[in-house]
Every structure is written in structure tokens, then in C-alpha cells.
Chains A and B, each alone.
Chain A
Amino acid sequence: MIDAIVEGDVLKAVTKAMVALVSEARFHFKDDTLHSRAVDPANVAMVIVNVPRDSFEVYKVDEEKIVGVDVNRIYDISKSIKKGELVELILENETTLKVKFGSVEYSVALIDPSAIRKEPKIPNLELPAKIVLDAGEFRKAISAADKISDHVIFRSDETGFYIEAEGDVDRITFHMSDAELIEFNRAEAKSMFSVEYLKEFMKVAGTGDILTIYLGNNYPVRLIFDVADGKAKVEYILAPRIEAE
């Protein structure tokens, strides 16, 4: 038996983060966190979601449990939760999850976890550059890049952090210097990524949320968003584009 009460925004953020990549996922109700991770069907990106126990109003887990969830459904449901409203998740048996908020109670059928793609390990990546910035700024840069190209270059050196996109005729450069960034280690790194994915990722966070980027050379990028007032952590790992010859 699992009983958890949390702010609706947290559930919304978490499911939204998963929906960007997969339609079904396994959720672990661990003693200290609610955790989930999955690789997208094209094997290009991974999402890792963590909600620590402290973020819950109530978190009662008699026994650690893995459940298979249709995240699209839960995300749809969570959209109707009002801001600031609390939502209760109840798991009494293996087959249904109850989602209660306000005067509504949804019973959502669960998926046999063995039918869902097995979970990835979290890769060990050597990523020299660490950039911390406001997610809102990042969002602006990606939206601009999306208008002219399907890929962007993330670059960092001692002068700052750059997001560059090149279209057929136009070019966009987004630059933040050390002073504008929340945290920056001035390391050199450069990789190219698909806008298609970044576009989905940035939807999970808004202005005021903190985004931490770990960047390498022709290597995957880690994007860690602190969402829902820092109550949940969403991490994306995105493989780089293959450079054109």
C-alpha cells in the first residue's frame, strides 16, 4: 500500500517531463524518492526524474514498488489540477493507481512493468563544462534557433556560453557571459544537438527555474532542470548529432 500526497504542479511537471520522450514508463516508489527513467524510442535521449521524499506532504511507502504507468494518461489528468491544489496518489493493488484531487478520484489502470522497455543505467559521462542559468533564457534561445534550423551548437569557453544556430541564410548566436550565468567553470566544450528534442525539453521549465548544463566535446549533454519550485528534478541526457561530413 502506497499513499502519497504532493502538490499538483509536481505531478504535472514530472509527467510532462516523461511525456516528452515516452508514452509508458516505470515509476519506482522508493523509500526516499519517487524515481523514473527511460530512453526514448529512437534511442537518442534519456529522461531521469526524481522527486525526493521531502517534496511530498505525505509519503507512505510500506514496501518499495515498481509500477508501469501510461504517462500520457496521467499527464492528461494532471492538466486539470488547479494550481496549488494537492493531489493524492494511492496504490492499493498492482493493477490500479488512484489519483485524487479536489472532489475527483481517477482510477488509472496500470501496465505490467515487464511489458515496458527495460530501464537504462545512468551513463558515466565525462563532461568538462558546467553551466548554470535561468531556464527561461535557455527557452528563449531554443525557440529562436528552432525558427531557422533543425540543429544547434552548444559551445563554451572562457568568454562564456554560446548557443548557435545556422539556417540557409540567417544565423543566430545566443551568448551569456560569466557574469550573466549563475555558475560557470569556463571549461572548453562544443557539441551539436537536435532542436527537435531540446524544444520538448524546455517545455518542462519556465522562467525562474534553474537549469544546469553539463557539456562535453561531441558528447551527450546533461540538462538538469529544477522544476516545481525545486521540488522535483528532471534530467535529460541527449546524444549529439552526427556531424555532416
Chain B
Amino acid sequence: MEPVESVEKYRPLWVEKYRPQTLKDVVADKTIIEKVTAWAKKWQSGGIQKPLLFGGPPGIGKTSLALALANTFGWEAVELNASDQRNWQIINRIVGEGAFNQTISDEGEFLSTEAGKLKLIILDEVDNIHKKEDAGGEGALIRLLKKRPRQPIILIANDPYALSPELRNLCDMVNFKRLDIRRIVKVLEKICSAEGVKADKKVLEAIVRNAGGDLRAAINDLQAIAEGREEIKIDDVVIAKRTQESDVFKVMQKIFKTYSTAVHNEAMLLDESPDDLIMWVDENLPREYIGEDLLMGYKVLSRADIFLGRVRRRQFYRMWKYASYLMTVGVQQSKREIRKGFTRYQRPSTWQMLFRTRSMRERLKSILTKISRYSHLSTKKAYSEMYFLLRKLISEAEIPVAASISAFYDFSEEDLVFMTGDEKRAKEIAEYIAKYGLHRVEDESFLSTFDRKVEAVEGVEEELERFEKKEDDEEMEEAVELKQEDSKTRKRAKKGKTKDATLDTFFS
């Protein structure tokens, strides 16, 4: 073997090299460390505890804390991370067997829980298990945790809320927050002095800010920049800039202020899907182009949107390429000249708008669902053919008519407010409905029975009541319902011609 290679091979990652050995060295909130220590102490004294669930963004020391905990208490650590193949069989082996048996350590010693020598099972990236091909990983885990494992377990997840509530309830949650920049800088300073690298605090701060509160990323960046050097300067940091959201603005600038077609590649490196990117271009296009340029720009952009629509409908993602090319280079090339001056690019307002109008959209959707159900239409047709008609009628027709329509569709008062845009009118209609007890008749066959009965007792209400009392058990059920409804409908029947709120009279 060549000597160069062996040097290469044994150069450790600083993240591993400077991983905290004991709890003292761990960078984390005091409350977290206290909680975890208390948990471990209870285990140590023989009490079986719920597993812990560490949640929080990546690179802030969740795994480090778990390993340091095992180290501090002299426990054997068994780690299962996402890089391993993790189907339910392996979970069964490691958790199912590991947590119910005593331990034979890596060193080959027998460790007994009776002597306080425990085994800490660390399941890293739990939020990824159920997404793996072998479904049921999470189910297997839940079944095992319910059996009360006899060895301490720590589950680690970046997004604990992606787990099923059942699994979360079996664990005690510990939430990790993003680390303070100053604390990360301190860690980097320590590493620098240990590695003999001279670095200004400002330089380290730049690295940390670049890594966005991610300690692991910060250490990795530091290693990339500083390894094998004696001093690092602020200029070195710029080269190694991490790709981040701020780069969207750069891409916007390249689209609107240059003719360089390399922008397409750059846009592809962003963490934005074409669906999102088109929003960015759309938002900022009118801030930049005017006159014919604007027209041409939108023409190209709309073509891009057509492709996005086709991607969605046909699930044919290869067409993303056309869409993304059109929305970047296409828009870029459609200008006749570059406008001078600085433009402040904005984030798309569409998302905020969608968020604001969410309740409205949901209201409309529930109204359309009702129309589609009672008029036997698709919601699409309900919107294109019925909705506007009904809205006009409810807003402008006489109150009794409007009321019978809204009763037929079972519209709530909120629905009416939404449709009429007039609270007073909505209230009037609602009151009319309440007053006359207008309601939907769900069961059509029930209606025919009703008609027969009505004929039988036509006219005399007292008779009706007597008649009901005589009803035999079989028909009792119907009758009771009828009793209340009837008396009301009777009244209305006398007054006008409306039966229960069907629209027959109205439409015929």
C-alpha cells in the first residue's frame, strides 16, 4: 500500500474526533442535561423508565448527548442508525432482543443489569424508519416498546411529529433547540486551538452563521477550510459558502440582470421545486421588466406553467426540465436590454395569500360539497353551474324562497354569510328557517309514508295526535318523528304551498 493512502485513511473527521466523551463536554441546554441525567440515574437504581425521544434539527448534538450519556454512566451503547438496513426484523433483533437480555460488551465482558451495568440502545433517525421500503418498522417498534423494555432506549428524530402519536406517547419527549451562535463559536475555538489553527473570532462567527446553527455542519466546514493550515482568514470562508435560501435572490438577479444561461444549472441546485421557483419568478418579473419585455416575459413564464400543469396531471416529471428552463433562461432571454439599478426582490406573496384565504377556500369547499351532494353533481359542476345561481337567489330572492333553498342544501348561517356577503340577510334567512323548522328530508322513502299519513289525517291536528297514540309498535318509530315535524309542516302547509324543503315547487 502506498504511504499517501494510509495517511488519507486514518485522518478522522473532526466531528468524530471531537465528539464529547462525557456529559460535561456536551453542548446542550442545562434543563435537557438535567432531565437526561435524572432519567439515567433512575435506570441505574433499578427502575424501568419510558424510553426517551430526542427531537430537534440536525447537527445539534442529539446523538452526541446519547453517546456521552452511555459513556458517563459506563453503559454499553448499541447504536442503530439509518445507514443500516432497518426493517422490522432488524428492529426486532436489536430492540426486541437487545432490550430484554443482558449484555455481552464489545470487549467481551458480561454486563449484568443487577450490577447496574446497562445497555443503552440508541435508535437514530427514527422518523425515517416507516418511510423505508419495509413498512411496519414503526409498528414493530411500537409493539416492542409496549412490552416495557428492560434496558434504556433513546430514540432520535429530526421531526418527532412525523412519528405516529402512539409511538410518541410511549416515550418521554426531549426537545432540542438550535444552538446559540456564541456557543458554537466557543466549540470551534476549542477545536482550533487543539488543531493548532489560528483563527479570528470573526472568521469563526462567519462559519457558524453560514452553517445556520448546525454544530456538525459548522465543524465540518471548519475542517474543510482549516485542515492542514496554520491560519484561516475571512476570505477562506466565502469560498466554502453553503448553498442556502439566500441564493434564490442570487438566481433572481442572474435571471433579470444577465444573459448568462448558466443560471439554469444554478437554479437546479436550489432547494426549491420548479413549482416554487416559478412563484419567485412570477413575483419579481413585474418589478424588473416593463412594456414589451414584461409581456414577453410573462408569455414564456405562462408556457413554463403549462408544462408544470402537465407534469402534475400526467405525473411525467421529465417535463420539469422544460418548465425550469423556460422559467429561468426563457424569461432571462426575453428582455431586450438589462435594466440598470438595484431591484429588491421579494419572496412570493402567493403563499401568504393562500394562507390568508385558507378559511375562505375551505368554506367554499364545504358549500360546494353540500350542493354536489344534494343536487347530484360533481363539486366542479356545482361550482360552474349551480353556485352562482344559488348565490344570487339566496342574496336577492324573497326570504321564504331563500330560506327554503338554503334549508334544502342544509346551509349553515356561516355559509349564508359567506354567500350573501351580508350578515343581516343571512341572519334573517336563518331565523326564518328556525322559526318554521325548515329542514332537509334525507330519506325519500320516509317521505312517501309521510304523504300517506298526511292524507289519512288531513286537516285535523287533534285527530293526528290521537291517531299517533293508537299507532302500533311497528310504526311507532316513524310516528314519533312525524309528530314534531308534522305539526310544524302542517302549519306551514296551511300558510303556503311549501312542503318540506324540496325544491320541486320552486323548479317546476
Contact = CB atoms under 8 A, between A and B. Distances in A.
Interface in A92-120: 94, 117-120
B102 A239 contact: yes
B64 to A, nearest CB: 20
B150 interface: yes
A202 interface: no
B104 interface: yes
A44 B104 contact: yes
A43 B108 contact: no
A45 B92 CA distance: 15
Contacts of B93: 40-42, 196
B2 interface: no
Contact of B110 (A94, A119, A239, A245): A239
A245 B113 CA distance: 13
A74 B114 CA distance: 39
Contacts of A119: 108
Interface in B103-118: 103-110, 112-114
A117 B102 contact: no
Given A120-B104, A123-B104, A242-B151, A42 B110 contact: no
A194 B97 contact: yes
Nearest to A151: B100
B113 A43 contact: no
A42 B102 contact: no
A11 interface: no
A119 B102 CA distance: 19
B106 A239 contact: no
A231 interface: no
A192 to B, nearest CB: 9
A123 B97 contact: no
Contacts of A219: 110
Contacts of A196: 92-93, 96-97
B98 interface: yes
A135 interface: no
Interface class of chain A by DSSP: loop
Contact of B108 (A40, A94, A121, A241): A121
A241 B150 CA distance: 9
Contacts of A220: 102, 104, 110
A39 B104 contact: yes
A152 B258 CA distance: 75
A237 interface: yes
B104 A239 contact: yes
Contacts of A94: 1
B197 interface: no
B418 to A, nearest CB: 58
Given A196-B96, A242-B151, A117 B101 contact: no
A39 B107 CA distance: 9
Contact of B103 (A117, A118, A218, A239): A239
Interface in B84-140: 92-94, 96-98, 100-110, 112-114, 119
B102 A241 contact: yes
Interface string A221-245: 0000000000000000111111011
Interface of B: 1, 48, 76, 78, 80, 92-94, 96-98, 100-110, 112-114, 119, 150-151
Interface of A: 39-46, 94, 117-123, 125, 193-194, 196-197, 218-220, 237-242, 244-245
Given A44-B103, A219-B110, A237-B104, 10 more contacts: A39-B105, A39-B108, A42-B93, A42-B101, A43-B103, A120-B106, A121-B109, A196-B97, A242-B113, A244-B150
